[in-house]
Each structure stands twice: as C-alpha cells, then as structure tokens.
Chains A and B, each alone.
Chain A
Amino acid sequence: MSRFEINFMLGFDHITAWEGLDHILFLIALTAIYQFKHWGRVLGVVTAFTVGHTVTIILANTGAVSVNGPIVEFLIPVTIMLTGIVNLMKVGQDPRSNGRFFIAALFGLIHGLGFFRSFRMLTVGDSDGWSSLLPFTLGIELGQLLIVFILLLITAILFNFMRLKQREWNLFSSGIVCGVAGLLMIETWPW
C-alpha cells in the first residue's frame, strides 16, 4: 500500500471505528434536525466540522497551539452535550438556520485537538507532516459523510414507515447523545 492509502484509511477508521464513538455522537447531534432533502446543508455542516478540526491540526502541527490531552478529552463531550442542548431549543430546530455551520466549525476546532495526537503518530518519516494531512483529513471527511448518510437512511425509514416525526427523533437522539456525553464528561473529568 502507499503512504497516501494508509493515511487515508487511518483517517477513515478513526471516525468510523468503535473508538471514534465520541465523534459519531457529535455527528448524530449535529444532523438530528435534518432529512435527505436538506442534503446541501448536511454536506455544509459536515464540511464545516472538517474545516474546524483541520485548522487546529494545522495550528498544533506548527506548534502555534499546544495540546493538553486530559482537557481535550473532557472538552470533546462538552461540545457534544452543548450541541444536544441546542437541539432541544426552538432556535436550534430550524433546519434552515445557518447557526449550525458555526457550531460545527467552532466545535470542530476542539475535536481537532483530539485528532492531533493520532495525527502526530502518522507523520513519522514525513519530515514536516504536511503530506499526511490531506489523506488523513479526506479519510475523516469521507467517514463522516458515510456515517451521516447511514443516519439519514435510518431516520428516513423511521419517518416513512413508522410515522416517527422529526421532532421526536431529534428529542430521542439528542437525549441519547446528552446522556452519553454526560457520562463521558464524568469519566474524563480532569480535575
């Protein structure tokens, strides 16, 4: 395999594997208000998240920001919890609102600090690390899109065949997400 393929696969695995559950939870919360017909917005939100975490990977790689592992591990479930709470508020339930792009990019900055530890591992033998960034980020982006596609597929089935309503799905999934995020916050409490 080539180095590009390996780094692409590691990015993809990073998000789709079971150990990427915290990022998956964030994606569930981020897209809980959408359906297939909002595909343009879904693509935008997922990409805004990628832009956010890529920015911090770049900043951390240049040494502009330093990463405090335990704090990052704690902040990631905080972003998940906050997104779940936004979903419960009326303003957060409008699929046409642009605020969600902002949330995705802003919280993506924090998730990027979490990705950085793995990213640094991949840059072995790649003097400055830049040639590992593109395949790794592409792998993550594609993994994210796959997860979101599966989520939309599941909810489309629930909406059409089980008469589930968007609002009910949103409350249900945001509840799960907030619950797990809360437990992760307790588990990763750094002080």
Chain B
Amino acid sequence: MKQWKTIALALGCATLFSSFTAKHEYYVSVGEMSLNPTTNQLEIGLRIFTDDLEYALERAGHPGLDVLNDETSAEHVSEYVLDHFRIWNEDGREIKLFYLGLEGDADGVFVYLETKVKSGLPEEVQVRHAILMESFPDQINILHYSHPDIPTSLRFDAEEPTQTLELQDL
C-alpha cells in the first residue's frame, strides 16, 4: 500500500511541476557579420527560427504573416529587423543598415543586411542585437564576426543587448 501512496505523491508533484513546463523550446538566433574588403562595407546574415520571427511580427501588429511568401513580408520584416538590430560608431552616431532580403524555409530564415557608408567604417562599433528579445525573455542572439585577424563571437541577451565590437585594426 505504501507504494501507492508514493506514486500518488509523485503524480501530485508531477502536476505541479508540469504547470511550469512548456514544450521544449530553444530561444537562440545565430548571425554572421563580415567586412567586405572590396566595398569596405559590413555584410550581415542573421539566421532566425521562422516561427519565432512570425510570432514577434504578430506581436508587432502583423498577425498571420507568412514571411516567406507574403508580399508585405519584406516591408514588415525589414522594419522589425532594422529596429532591433542596430550599429553605432564610437561617437554614438548610428551607422545606417539596409535590408537586402530574406531566404529560408519553414524552419529558419536568413535575413540579409548591409551598410552603405561612404567615408569608411570606424575601428570599433557598438552593436545592439535585440531581435526577438521583446517576445522571448530568454532569447540569446549570437553574432560571429569574421575579423581579418581574430574571428570573434558576441553573445547578446536581455541583460546585455548591446556589445562593443572591434571591426578592424587601422
């Protein structure tokens, strides 16, 4: 009989436990940034889970958007991404980014961005990568930068959505 009491207790705990449990989710996005030596511009590719991006856009006021196929996708995705992924130079002046497009499948998409600066890029920049963070508090964004000498990787989370990155040795 004692066993059944133990099992009943365990099932009780299980119910309590599972009220915290959600389906297994992994809140991470990984992107790449490189400095094109020919054009001297930054080129960025961000890989984001498609359903996460669509959820964030829904929260931003665009419910039911199919980011891969809808005509209005480019407009909404670029607005959202450029709002949450930003770069500033050492003086705090924003370096404008341009949305190039998106490709991918139902699992994940790549969003492509680039800079179009005329006067050369600074040695060091501030990067804010807060994509999806307003929708998922545990979101982690990784950005790999292919520095000509030392490739570095930055990790952004809700506590530190902005990081300093050394672009090049002048």
Contact = CB atoms under 8 A, between A and B. Distances in A.
Interface of A: 1-3, 5-6, 9-10, 13-14, 17-23, 69, 73, 76, 114, 117-118, 120-122, 124-125, 168, 171-180, 182-184, 187-188
B35 to A, nearest CB: 14
Contacts of A122: 28, 30, 142
Q: Which applies to chain B's interface (DSSP): helix, strand, loop or mixed?
A: mixed
Given A173-B10, A183-B14, A3 B151 contact: yes
B49 interface: yes
B1 interface: no
A19 B138 contact: yes
Given A5-B153, A19-B26, A124-B30, 13 more contacts: A1-B154, A3-B144, A3-B151, A121-B49, A125-B45, A174-B10, A175-B11, A177-B14, A179-B18, A180-B21, A183-B15, A183-B21, A184-B21
A171 B3 CA distance: 7
B69 interface: no
Given A19-B24, A19-B25, A117-B26, A179 B144 contact: no
B18 A20 contact: no
A28 to B, nearest CB: 11
A18 to B, nearest CB: 8
A85 to B, nearest CB: 12
Nearest to A9: B155
A6 B6 contact: no
Given A120-B107, A124-B31, A176-B13, A6 B153 contact: yes
A179 B29 contact: no
